[in-house]
């Protein structure tokens, strides 16, 4: 049995298999053909963080595959009142066929998986966001004529869970990524080093800089995320000061390739991390990206739960 906690846990071939399934499921949905691959299966969905895309995409996805999703907020669970994560994991494993969790501490995901006898999916933690990156890779493949191992993506902004997983995705799948963060907001060195080690088998190029222009030069996609994630609201003013010069605007986008596209995992704060004219302009593919959460996660659930 496998969990889906970090992209680093999967080989290039495994991730490619999941992506192929995601494209197949998307195509079948467009043709109004649905395969009930998870007929009678139940997914427990634990939310310690509020959500729009994660909840709707997982709940819709499990339904379209023939199963049932159970929304469990931390306020509804005994886990929110201090019950050990082990007890929650063991008991839920006896009720359901899979568990998805969207939480703060990455250690919560790892402990849940340690004690669960059914697959656990990391819907988001403060360290990693692997489901998002699978949707991102789908979107880049749809919007680029290049094979995945030739795609170049620049990430401009906070070295957060999205950046961490984008780096792991590059290492495992072979696309090239350049990460531009302000000083003090780099991704953890242990993740950077681990990704470099994995990348030796896929020939991915992973580079880091403090200069957004250097990262974006000639790239196929420019990606950013909010500067202050949930739980970081008290740091917002400091971050606004520290991230000055890191807004993705038309001037920065013009440094990419002629067909350069814009990515954002949403929610987006226009005229902060991205200018409104870029976010809502012709280069933006953020809604395709958001839709692909549904298809990518259906493929992940099917891979783990069948």
Task: Please enumerate, by residue number, every residue annotated as part of a binding site for L-ornithine.
Answer: 161, 225, 229-230
Order of strands, sheet of 152-156, starting from the edge strand that comes earlier in the sequence? 206-209, 176-180, 152-156, 221-224, 261-264
Neighbour count for residue 169 (Cβ, 10 Å): 27
Catalytic residue among 3, 129, 176, 295: 129
Catalytic residue among 3, 8, 55, 102: 102
| Beta-carbon contacts of residue 276 (< 8 Å; ≥ 6 apart) | 270
Beta bridge partners of 127: none
Catalytic residue among 3, 55, 126, 132: 132
Q: Which residues are annotated as a binding site?
A: 51-54, 78, 102, 129-132, 161, 225, 229-230, 265-266, 293
Catalytic, 210? Answer no
CB 304 within 8 A of CB 116: no
Catalytic, 102? Answer yes
Catalytic, 197? Answer no
Catalytic residue among 97, 293, 295, 297: 293
CB 222 within 8 A of CB 256: yes
Catalytic, 260? Answer no
Q: Which residues are annotated as a binding site for carbamoyl phosphate?
A: 51-54, 78, 102, 129-132, 265-266, 293
Residue 70: phi, psi to the nearest 5? -110, 115
Catalytic residue among 97, 126, 220, 225: 225
Max CA pair span of the chain = 55
Burial of 190 (C-beta count, 10 Å sphere; 0-12/13-18/19+): exposed
Catalytic residue among 219, 260, 265, 279: 265
Residue positions annotated with a catalytic role: 102, 129, 132, 225, 265, 293
């Amino acid at each position: 049995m496998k969990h889906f906690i970090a992209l680093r846990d999967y080989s290039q071939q495994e991730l490619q298999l999941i992506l192929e399934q995601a494209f197949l499921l998307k195509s079948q949905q467009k043709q109004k053909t649905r395969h009930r691959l998870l007929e009678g299966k139940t997914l427990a969905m634990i939310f310690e963080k509020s959500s729009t895309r994660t909840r709707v995409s997982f709940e819709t996805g499990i339904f379209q595959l023939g199963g049932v999703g159970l929304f469990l907020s931390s306020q509804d669970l005994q886990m929110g009142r201090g019950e050990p994560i082990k007890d929650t994991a063991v008991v839920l494993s006896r009720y359901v066929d899979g568990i998805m969790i969207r939480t703060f501490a990455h250690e919560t995901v790892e402990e849940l998986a340690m004690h669960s006898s059914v697959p656990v999916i990391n819907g988001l933690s403060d360290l990693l966001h692997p489901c998002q990156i699978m949707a991102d890779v789908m979107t880049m493949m749809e919007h680029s004529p290049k094979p995945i191992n030739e795609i170049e993506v620049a990430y401009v902004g906070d070295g957060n869970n999205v950046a961490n997983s984008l780096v792991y995705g590059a290492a495992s799948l072979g696309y090239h990524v350049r990460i531009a963060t302000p000083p003090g907001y780099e991704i953890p060195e242990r993740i950077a080093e681990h990704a470099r080690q994995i990348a030796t088998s896929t020939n991915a190029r992973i580079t880091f800089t403090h200069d957004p222009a250097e990262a974006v030069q000639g790239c196929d996609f420019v990606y950013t995320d909010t500067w202050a994630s949930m739980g970081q609201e008290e740091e917002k003013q400091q971050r606004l000061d520290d991230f000055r010069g890191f807004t993705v605007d038309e001037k920065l986008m013009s440094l990419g390739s002629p067909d350069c596209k814009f990515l954002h995992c949403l929610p987006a704060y226009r005229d902060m991390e991205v200018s409104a004219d870029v976010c809502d302009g012709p280069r933006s593919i953020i809604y395709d990206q958001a839709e692909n959460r549904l298809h990518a996660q259906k493929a992940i659930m099917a891979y783990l739960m069948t």
